[in-house]
Structure 1
Amino acid sequence: MPKPLGVAAVAGAALLVRRAMRRRIQASPLWPMPALERPVSGQPRSRALRLLVAGHETVADGVVQLRLEGRDLPRWEPGAHLDLVLPSGLVRQYSLCGDPEDTSSYTVATRLVEDGRGGSREVHEQVWEGMELEVRGPRNRFPLVDAPAHVFVAGGIGITPVLPMLRALGDGAEWRLLYCGRTRASMPFLEEIEKLGKGGGRVTVVAEDESGLPDLDGQLADIPEDAAVYCCGPEELMAAVAERVPRVRLERFAPRLSADGNSAFEVELRRSGRTLTVPADSTVLAAVRAELPDTAYSCAQGFCGTCQQRVLEGEVDHRDELLTDAERADSMLICVSRARSDRLVLDM
């Protein structure tokens, strides 16, 4: 009977298999896979690529960094993000934190959220080197704008869109950063951040286990009127910063909750000849799919645009983080947005 392999031998064999898969994929004349355009319900989808997971690295406690390789990848600017289609089909958004000039790879990072909806755990536990992932984007709704000065507030994994901004600004610009986290060990890219801020007192690091919660009143008290202010992190941090600096630019990867609460309303599907009631505790998407189960959707958070539908009548309460003002004039993302009026009419 053959002797069982030890843990180290099994791990080594798995690594060799992943490397062999990577060499075979890259040697294929089909690598990288061409961009895909997938129209859904008459709406254009973001460009999609098949990229190789070339790196899966722990960069802080509970934080994994992915390096996704391809060829002639679309360029991006600081603040941009990608949609990753995970092996289960879940779609999640991650800020690009690598080098915008690198057209051979994209770099993203994600923190494991123990009580989350499963996306971060899947990245940590089911995505490995040698796999291929579908990627959509890049898209940028958090761009770095020209300004005499820049002020950044980042909480934990919220540092990812800010890091490329700091690199782009460099030593010649006036900027400062408040970087908060539970512990220093849990704060990704901390060493590089501190190097970028050397010699000017630009970077303030607040680890809660050392100093408690950050003094936002003190940190945000003397912001110049013409400074551009950015914040990314937990919702509580962004809300606190927005309360003190209403002009702040925010980056969210979870749907905004309405402070006004929800109420029921009707939705007419004009082409289908059906009228639905959307309860206060449900969504347009859920009501529509109960009647039209083939209605496409993906992230269900108002980020990817898969469920975008044309609005023929009614006033929309837009709660997405994707559509432009021009797009909102006649369309909505039915996964999160609701009605301000008693009735909406959709071109479905």
Structure 2
Amino acid sequence: MSENPLQLIVHRMTREAEGVLSVELAHPDGKPLPAWTPGAHIDVHVGGHVRQYSLCGDPHDQGAYRIGVLDEPASRGGSRFVHTALRPGQTLTVSAPRNHFALEDAAAYVLVAGGIGITPLLAMAREAARRGAEWRLVYGGRSRASMAFTAELALLGGEVTLVPQDERGHIDLDAELSRLPDGALVYACGPEPLLAAVEERCPQGQLRTERFTAPTVERAEDDGEFEVECRTSGLTLRVDAHSSILDAAENAGIAVDSSCRDGICGSCETRVLEGTPDHRDFLLSEAEQAAGATMMICVSRCASGRLVLDL
């Protein structure tokens, strides 16, 4: 959670599709909320957990944040709390928005959504339409009834293709990605099998993804130990082969924002003061990883024997 969390009121809850609720959050005094851009998400305290939800409203409306929440029976409690216990008028603690999935300037956009992955892409489609950019979106879901925000998408004026699996099977990614306009960027969000399939078919420099879960990565070598100086707290930690920097910091009593512990949410992003990180997250771009200014301490390690972090 950010240093200055917001206390927001649940203003409205709307059933957008089977198993999907949208939740609008507003300041209790009606004050404008911190600005955000398409692709941003907020951390939300729900049901004793901290969960990340993409903002799917209009960035030009600073009066409310809107998130879309899928009811997942196998969840660890966040989505179940929203669907069974959250009510309008209740207060939630949320972070200011942050964005590791920003809509970059491009000549055209191809948006690929799977299931609840439509949430960040809805805001992107709205912004692309506002810019007058060429864009198209292909959206796959279990069934037409389970696919949220389709009426809003239809009003945006772009080429929107709905692919309910029970009617049409899976998205034909070969067809969708074989006709990329010149200078186009591809944005994809959804389940890991969809993202892996998109990555196989799309030039890496043109693709931007956001994940719900971390993919499995095989390591050729075992991890070694290394030292981390925590400059702010004045502590030096030894991180063994079976622990993360986040584990070591928490064991030493250092408070660190964290949630996913898989390198996909950005909550634990920490400034690097000295040393070279071994980046293992799925958020930072290649350029950001090469710069080494920050790292996700839940998964990333050390490539230089010692790190100095702003902890």
TM-score range, shorter chain: 0.7 to 0.9
1:62 is aligned to 2:25: no
Aligned to 1:35: none
How far apart in 1 are the matches of 2:221 and 2:19? 35
One-letter amino acid of the counterpart of residue 46, structure 2: L
Aligned to 1:308: 270
Aligned to 2:39: 79
Q: Give the drift of 1:183.
A: 0.4
Aligned to 2:224: 265
TM-score, normalization by structure 2: 0.83
Distance 1:278 1:117, change over 3 A: farther
Aligned to 2:241: 278
1:159 is aligned to 2:159: no
Q: Give the drift of 1:217.
A: 0.6
Contact 1:296 1:307 survives alignment (8 Å): no
Q: Give the drift of 1:218.
A: 1.3
Contact 1:230 1:248 survives alignment (8 Å): yes
One-letter amino acid of the counterpart of residue 266, structure 1: E
What secondary structure sits across from 2:80 in the alignment?
helix
Aligned to 1:332: 295
Q: Give the drift of 1:69.
A: 0.9
Correspondence 1:1-348 to 2 at 5 A:
45=2, 47-70=4-27, 71-88=31-48, 90-170=49-129, 172-197=132-157, 202-245=159-202, 246=204, 247-260=206-219, 263-270=222-229, 271-272=234-235, 274-279=237-242, 282-290=243-251, 292-299=252-259, 300-302=261-263, 303-306=265-268, 308=270, 310=272, 312-319=274-281, 321=283, 325=288, 329-340=292-303, 343-347=305-309
Q: Give the drift of 1:264.
A: 2.5
Q: Give the drift of 1:153.
A: 0.7
Indicate the larger mover: 65-74 or 78-87: 78-87
Distance 1:160 1:267, change over 3 A: same
Contact 1:265 1:278 survives alignment (8 Å): yes
Contact 2:16 2:22 survives alignment (8 Å): yes
Q: Give the drift of 1:125.
A: 2.4
Aligned to 1:4: none
Distance 1:322 1:126, change over 3 A: farther
Q: Give the drift of 1:143.
A: 2.2
What secondary structure sits across from 1:265 in the alignment?
coil
Please say which structure displays the higher CA radius of gyration: 1
What secondary structure sits across from 2:10 in the alignment?
strand
Contact 1:308 1:332 survives alignment (8 Å): yes
Q: Give the drift of 1:123.
A: 2.2
How far apart in 1 are the matches of 2:306 and 2:100? 27
Distance 1:283 1:273, change over 3 A: closer
One-letter amino acid of the counterpart of residue 106, structure 1: Y
Distance 1:261 1:234, change over 3 A: farther
Gaps of 5+ in 1: 1-37, 39-44
What secondary structure sits across from 1:83 in the alignment?
strand
How far apart in 2 are the matches of 1:309 and 1:166? 32
Matched positions, count? 297
Distance 1:262 1:85, change over 3 A: farther
Where does structure 1 differ by over 4 angstroms across 4 or more consecutive aligned residues?
A: none
